[in-house]
Homo-oligomer: A and B are copies of this chain.
Amino acid sequence: MNVFIIGLGLIGGSMAIDMKAANNDIKIIGFDADQNHMEEALALGFIDEKGVFEDVKNADVVIISIPVNVSIDVTPKVLDIVKDDTLVFDVGSTKVNICSVIENHPKRRNFLATHPIAGTEFSGPKAAIKGLYKDKTNIICEVEKTAFKLQERAFTIFNDLGMRIRYMEPKAHDRHIAYVSHLSHISSFMLGKTVIEKEKNERDIFDMAGSGFESTVRLAKSSPAMWSPIFEHNKENVIETLDEYITNLLRFKQLMEEDDFEAIYKEMAETNRIKEILKGISIKTS
């Protein structure tokens, strides 16, 4: 099987690692706008060859793992030149725009829209790791629009990676993912910004930071090149989540100003329910 991966960072690279581990008869050609990334991927061994864009013509599977703003340009161009029986799938964190841009493409049935809920705060080929996708959820959108045989090929790959599948409409995906992923990134980035701004002249202050702070600002290490386009492509949903988050913070502040610490206790006690919800995630991912 000839696999062509466009974008050799954490997501594409980690996929390559486990696809190679699961298949003997696989050849992975890697392509990245950044020449250094291609060299690194080759040196790390998760691609077999560096490719040029036109090599997609010979691929059985094309994986598009690049920022969502680039993906909406590149995906139609890939579909333009692939073989009739090539599977093309993307892995972007927003799904409405990509599904819309290829909606009427003659090769729409060659395409599958996916969003593997997996990642770390690191990026680039060196961030690629073994087992990233094991026991994680892969959200598939508009599955009925993909040719049945190519769905099967995709599910074999996702099965090799150890993923479980959930189906969702693109709009529902983008709305909900704004809450459970995109908002977390903004809350983390702005928390990091607030503390760095305040403490820029206080070098020793971070001695005071413990694992709680580390956990809460971890996502502020994420790649702006990946995340800025995600916020752009999911603008309306993200703004809605931000509005609600800010409203909750303003109410918390008001309760503090009114010395209503009973109400604050109650707010926190009610939110403690997140324990049960997170337990669900842990069981799922462990």
Q: Shortest distance in angstroms between A97's beta carbon and chain B's nearest beta carbon?
A: 14
Please state if B277 and A206 are interface contacts (CB–CB under 8 Å).
Answer: yes
Please state if A242 and B252 are interface contacts (CB–CB under 8 Å).
Answer: yes
Which of B120, B198, B261, B274 is the one whose CB lies under 8 Å from A221?
B274
Give residues 243-286 of A contacting B (CB, 8 Å). Answer: 243-246, 248-250, 252-253, 256-257, 259, 261, 264-275, 277-278, 280-282, 284-285
Which of B184, B186, B221 is the one whose CB lies under 8 Å from A272?
B221
Which of B185, B194, B239, B270 is the one whose CB lies under 8 Å from A248?
B194
Please state if A211 and B285 are interface contacts (CB–CB under 8 Å).
Answer: yes
Which of B210, B249, B256, B265 is the one whose CB lies under 8 Å from A245?
B249
Which of B215, B220, B264 is the one whose CB lies under 8 Å from A274?
B220
Give residues 151-208 of A contacting B (CB, 8 Å). Answer: 166, 173, 176-177, 179-181, 183-199, 202, 204-208
Q: Shortest distance in angstroms between A129's beta carbon and chain B's nearest beta carbon?
A: 13
Q: Can you report 10 residue pairs joining A to B where beta carbons are below 8 Å apart?
A: A121-B212, A180-B199, A180-B206, A184-B212, A186-B249, A190-B245, A216-B218, A221-B274, A245-B249, A246-B246
Residues of B within 8 A of A270 (CB): 193, 196
* A254 vs B266: C-alpha distance when bound (angstroms): 31
Residues of B within 8 A of A275 (CB): 221
6 tightest A-B CB contacts, nearest first: A224-B268, A184-B216, A180-B209, A228-B265, A192-B274, A117-B210
Please state if A271 and B206 are interface contacts (CB–CB under 8 Å).
Answer: no
Please state if B248 and A193 are interface contacts (CB–CB under 8 Å).
Answer: yes
Residues of B within 8 A of A284 (CB): 207
A119 an interface residue at 8 Å Cβ cutoff?
Answer: yes
* A209 vs B180: C-alpha distance when bound (angstroms): 5
Please state if A220 and B272 are interface contacts (CB–CB under 8 Å).
Answer: yes
Please state if A268 and B227 are interface contacts (CB–CB under 8 Å).
Answer: yes
Q: A187-B187, A192-B274, A256-B239 are in contact. Are A219 and B208 (CB under 8 A)?
A: no
Interface centre among A184, A275, A280 (most CB of B within 10 A): A184
A225 an interface residue at 8 Å Cβ cutoff?
Answer: yes
